[in-house]
Structure formats: structure tokens, C-alpha cells
A and B are shown apart, each in its own frame.
Chain A
Amino acid sequence: MNDMTRMERTVNSKAIKIAASDVQVYYGDTHAIKDVDVEIEDKTVTAFIGPSGCGKSTFLRCLNRMNDTIDICRVQGDILLDGEDIYDKRVDPVQLRAKVGMVFQKPNPFPKSIYDNVAYGPRIHGLAKNKAELDEIVEKSLRRAAIWNEVKDRLDAPGTGLSGGQQQRLCIARAVATEPEVLLMDEPCSALDPIATAQVEELIDELRKQYSVVIVTHSMQQAARVSQKTAFFHLGNLVEFGETGQIFTNPVDPRTESYITGRIG
């Protein structure tokens, strides 16, 4: 009986990984995010779209408390990761960020070797017992980021010497290496050419098998291609959130329709 219900759940709707309710974000006096409620499912790609300055990146950075590093930023409301409030005092933001990885808009490899870039997280969190295990993690991560074949012969070369697309995939490998449960991607393809973009998108689809992925993007085609769920932000409000197909073909809110047809943005 128990088995039956569990099976039904996985078929019908996936588990909720992150549940945000009534989230407000302030930068000093500016009210950047207003009353946002979002439920992000496990093993799903969720896309955040919206015009520049609408708060989608800010909201993304709330999900792993990266906004803590900005002095003037205040976050109110509840964000639950697996039912636990991540803004609770007992939660260590450092531990949280290991669980909720992040890939940034601009590729930001550390000025270290390719190997050390990927091994950075596992070393900090003690994920490998010995060198062989670390080697294995590095290789696995680079393979999953679809860059292993390009760099396997020069793992000692500096990560900063790679091309832009390779650097971004290296950063994805670096984020994957810490075994996060959620991967946040802040416009990961904005600095990449179409070929590298296609590679990263393929990768995102691949990552969906194991992680919950949240991607901020300016490209509506990209959102349509890679995501199952889409959230449309406008002026700090979450205007509409639903199945990607439904948002793009049959939006409920007139603002969403205006944006995806190119009239506002």
C-alpha cells in the first residue's frame, strides 16, 4: 500500500525541493522582490525569465543566501529547502551553499589549474578520502560537464587559459563536483557563443536527472528549450509561474503575454 502511494507521487508530481513563500527582498530602501511565492520541484529545470532589473537574479541569490555577502541586502519571508527554513539561525550558510551550488553569469574560474578548480569544493568539504578518490571525482565532474575530452591531457594547465565556453563548463564541473542537490545558474550562457550555449543546454538537460536546476535567462527560446517550469518576474513581482509549455503558448497574465511577444522588456 505504501509502495503504491509513493509510486503514484513520483508519477504525478515530483517532490517539492524548495518552497518559497511571501519573500521580500530590500536593498537599502529599495524593495527589490515583492511577495514572491514559488515552489521548485526536484529533478526539474525551472527557468526564471523577465526583463532586466526585474529581480530574478536577486531572487536566485536568495536561494543559497549569496545575498548575505551584500551588506545592505535584507531578506524576509520563508524559503524552505526540503522543509527546512534556510534563513533559520541554526542553518550555516556555508553548509547551505554546498547543498545549493551556483554557476554565475560570467565564467569565473580560479587562477589555479583545471584540476584544482574542480577539486576545490571536494577538498574544502572533505568529500574525497584520498588522491585516487579525488581524481575520480574530478574526472566524473568534468565528464558530466562535457569538457573532459577537451581538457583531460592538460589538467595542470591554468583554468583561466581556456576559452569562454570551456571556462563556463569548467565552472559547471566545479559546481557539480561538490555534489549539490540544487544547482542555481545565473544566465550561464550570456557570455557564450551559440555552439557553447548548445553544449551547456544539453548539459542542463543531463543534470536534470539528478538535480533540481534553476536557471535565470534572458533568452526565451532557451527557457522554452531547457525548462519544464517557468516563472515570469516583472518589477520585483512574480507575475506567473507554471508549466513552460503553458506559459509560452497560453499565458494567463497579460504582462506575461506582452513580454513573451516582445512588447515589454
Chain B
Amino acid sequence: MALSWLLLILLALAVLGYFIGRSRALASAGGDSRDLHSLPSYYGYNVALTSLIPALGLLVIWLLVQPMIVSSTVTSLIPDDSISEGSNRGLIMSEVRRVADGLDGAVAKGALTEQEARNADTDVDALTAKLKDARQVLTQDLTKPILLAAQKHRVMNAAGTVAMQVSVLLLALMGAAFAYVRTHKDFRARNVVEQGILALLLLAASIAILTTVGIVLSMLFETMNFFQMHSWKDFFFGSTWAPNFRGGSELSILPLLWGTLYISVIALLVAVPIGLFAAIYLSEYASGITRAIAKPLLEILAGIPTIVYGLFALLTVGPALVSMFGDGGMLGVGWMASSNAVLTAGLVMGIMLIPFVSSLSDDIINAVPQSMRDGSLGLGATHSETVRQVILPAALPGIVGAVLLAASRAIGETMIVVMAAGAIAKFSGNPFEAMTTITTRIVSQLTGDTDFASPETLVAFALGLTLFIITLGLNIFALYIVRKYREQYE
């Protein structure tokens, strides 16, 4: 029985439970729903949820745990001496899983009978031939231990699946029966269902948080692997980024961090004034119609994929800058050699951040109470004096929060810098030179053939974790400031 059938049966049970729960509740009240503690549907939901939720929970846990138990049992079947030189237990285990899948496939196609597939004394060569005839993928020749392990793997999995189906269905039935028995006109079904819903909401919230924890942990383990192979002093305090896949690389984050911060600062220099002025215009001066048209238009900018911004940088902004600052350019200064430069990436990233800054600042400026404006205007201040001296100071903490959020976007931005910033890691103050950022290097260290045992690859995780910590810190700081600001008026 496939998983989808199991799910369908569970759902059918829940639907059935809903109707019998509902009708039992009504019957206990003599058909008059006014005598019930809760609405009849709550009794139905109670039976349905009590049947469905624990069963689904068990199903998920079983699906996660079974493969672990099976592999750990099967691994012990493979003797150490059957692991050849240059291989390891992990590789053998994946071969075992492939063979098990192959046997399954062959049985499904009818090339093998179930007995043949399970027969431990079968001739290995003949079986290999049969599997190959059935076009099942085998990467290496079958050996006796692998075959035995694969057979064990199949048997355990099959048994486990049957056990899982039986116990999940049993649990569903038991849940339904339990809730059905409890259904009575005085039973507080509404409260119980709402507690169940509360638990679901809690689960959803904790999944989001646990995922974050999971991401951090996975990065952390790889980063620790990296620091076992590479000195942390060089990573944090070195001055050169020179990865060399033959070994002896110098992997320091500082040149990359410098590039990242330099580009982000340029982006913020573009985005903050423009975004803030746009927000002031939209929230304080624009008429209703202008605002209704301009605000969505500005927010469209936020919906453009960053790769499109990258193309814009590559095809339009970069060449335009070269024609201005390059050799024989309009200004005749010859500062800019190629269109890949800090300035190109910074400008385009700044444009990307404008709606971010303006939209958040606009909300914050609108949140300043009208009584502040009235108070200032009532004292004979002009509109612009009011904006400058009352509204902006009142909104300042929120605006700072918006800028910090924009900064953390800028630091984590990837596509624009991959396409427009260049690939040279160095310390330089010249905005017309190409430079590289942390995100770009993560991409380049992990693309192509990668070997997850070399520091040149693992450095990507250390870079990613550092980046994550920087942006996380910025976000926390920004949220702290925004929250502090909110307390002032509410």
C-alpha cells in the first residue's frame, strides 16, 4: 500500500469521524442543538482532529526514524574487511541502498520473484545478470556482503512499512473512538478544538524557528570542519584571499568583508537619501491620487528579481559609467577600466534598495500622529519646518531601523554583485576598481565540481556563517530600535 493511499484513508477516517461525532452529539441532545455545549460542528471537528493529528504525527516521525534504524542495523552486517581500499562505509551503504532499490525494481518488473530476491543463498553472478537484464542500475559488481545487506535492508524496510501502516491506522481509529466516546452534549468540544488549533499554530511557529536553528547548526558543523583544516587566525585576521585547489590557499575574510561593506555603503548612500525623500514626498506632500499611483509604482521596484538588476548593471549602468569615467570618456579622466566595478554594483544595489527604504519610512512617517502636525502648524510653523523639526525627529528611530534593515539586505545581496562587482579580492579605496564580496565568493567556491573535504570548499560555510551573524546582528539591532520607537505612541 502506497503512502498516498494511507493518507487518503486517514483523511476519509477524519471525514467520517466528523459526521459521526456531529450526529452523536446531536443525538445526545435529543436533536436540539441549543442543548449542546458547543456548536455541533465542533464535536465533529473534535473527532476528526483527534483521529487525524496524532496519526499524522506518528506517520511523520516513523518516516524520519525508520531509515535511521534500518541503516544502523544494516551497517553492522557489513564486515570491515569487505570495505576495499579507497572506499568507506558511507559509500558501501549507498551501494547497498542502490542494490536494494534495484531488487525492488526488478521484482516490480517481474524479472525476479519475491523468493529469488529474498534468497540469501542465491548465486551472486546470476543475480547480477538478472538485475542488469532488468536494467537496474548497479555501479559496481555485486559482492556477497553487499547483497546480504541489501536483502536485509529490503526485508526490514518492508516489515517497517507494514508495521507503520498498521500502527498509524490503529492510532487513527483509537483517536476517533476515544473522541467518539467522549462526545456528549455537556462535553466542551469548542474549548478542546480550540486548544488543538492552538497546538497547530504553535507547531507552525516552532517549525520556522527550528529551521533557523537547523540552518545555523548545519553551517556551524561545516564551519568547525573548516577550522580543523584551516587556521582561524588566517581566516579572521589574514589579509589575502587566494584559494588554490591544490592546497596552500590563503583564505582570509577581510578583503571580502571590505568589498562587501564598501559596496553596501555606496548602495546605502544612493538608497537612503532618495528613498527617504521619496517617502517624505509621498507621505507629506503628495495628493491622494499621486500617492495612489506613485506608491505601487515604487514598490514594483521591490518586486524585480535581483538577477534583472544584475543584467541592468551589466548592460546599462556599467557601460554608461565607463563612457563617463573610462578612457576617452566624457570626463576624460580614464579612471575606470571595466564596467565591473564597486561603483556599478553599489549604484544598482542602491536602486534596488530605494523601495525598501521608502516603503518602510513612509509607513513610519505616517505613524507619527496627526496631533504632532497640528501642534506644530498651530504654532505657526510651515509644512517643511514641521517635517524637518517635528516629524523627522519623531520618526527617526524607525527610519534608522529601516536603514539598518536595508543595510542587511545590501550585505547579503548576491546576484547584483556576482554580475557587476568583479572577482578580485583586494583592499582598495578606489570605487572604479573591481572588487569582490563574501556572497560572490561563496558562489564561486561552491559551483562546479566540489569536494566537501577541502578547506577551499568548506570556507564557503565559514563565510556564510559570518555573513549570517553580521546580518542577524543588524536585523536584531534594527528590530530593537523599531520596537523601542513604537512604544512611544501606543
Binding site for B on A (CB under 8 A): 64, 66, 69, 71, 94-99, 101-104, 106, 108-112, 120-121, 124-125, 160, 171, 174-175, 178
Contact = CB atoms under 8 A, between A and B. Distances in A.
A106 B369 CA distance: 11
A64, A99, A102: residue with the most chain B Cβ atoms closer than 10 Å: A102
Contacts of A97: 377-380
Interface string B360-386: 000000000101111111111110010
Contacts of A69: 373-374, 377
B381 A110 contact: no
Contact of B379 (A101, A106, A160): A101
Contacts of A121: 379-381
Interface residues of B, number: 21
A106 B380 contact: no
Contacts of A111: 372, 393-394, 488
A11 B371 CA distance: 40
Most buried by A among B371, B380, B381: B380
B91 to A, nearest CB: 66
A160 B485 CA distance: 13
B385 A104 contact: no
B390 interface: yes
Contacts of B488: 111, 160
B380 A104 contact: no
Contact of A124 (B287, B288, B373, B379): B379
26 contacts: A64-B378, A66-B377, A66-B378, A71-B288, A94-B380, A95-B380, A97-B377, A97-B379, A102-B378, A108-B369, A108-B371, A108-B375, A109-B375, A110-B372, A110-B393, A111-B394, A120-B390, A121-B379, A124-B379, A124-B381, A124-B389, A125-B380, A160-B488, A175-B378, A178-B379, A178-B380
A166 B378 CA distance: 19
From DSSP, what is the main secondary structure of chain B's interface residues?
helix
Given A108-B375, A120-B389, 5 more contacts: A64-B378, A69-B374, A71-B287, A102-B379, A106-B371
Contacts of B371: 104, 106, 108
Contacts of A160: 488
A96 B376 CA distance: 13
Interface of B: 287-288, 369, 371-382, 385, 389-390, 393-394, 488
Contacts of B385: 124
A168 to B, nearest CB: 12
A69 B390 CA distance: 16
Contacts of A99: 380
Contact of A120 (B369, B374, B379, B394): B379
A22 to B, nearest CB: 25
Nearest to A107: B371
Contact of A104 (B378, B381, B389): B378
B380 A171 contact: no
Contacts of B379: 97-98, 101-102, 120-121, 124, 174-175, 178
Nearest to A184: B378
Contacts of A66: 374, 377-378
Ordered nearest first, which 8 A-B pairs have the shortest CB separation?
Answer: A98-B380, A102-B378, A108-B371, A97-B380, A108-B375, A121-B379, A111-B394, A94-B382
Most chain B C-beta atoms within 10 Å of own C-beta, residue among A96, A108, A175: A108
A121 B119 CA distance: 97
Contacts of B375: 104, 108-110, 171, 174
Q: Most A CB atoms within 10 A — which of B288, B381, B393?
A: B381
A67 B194 CA distance: 50
A96 B378 CA distance: 9
Nearest to B375: A108
A178 B288 CA distance: 33
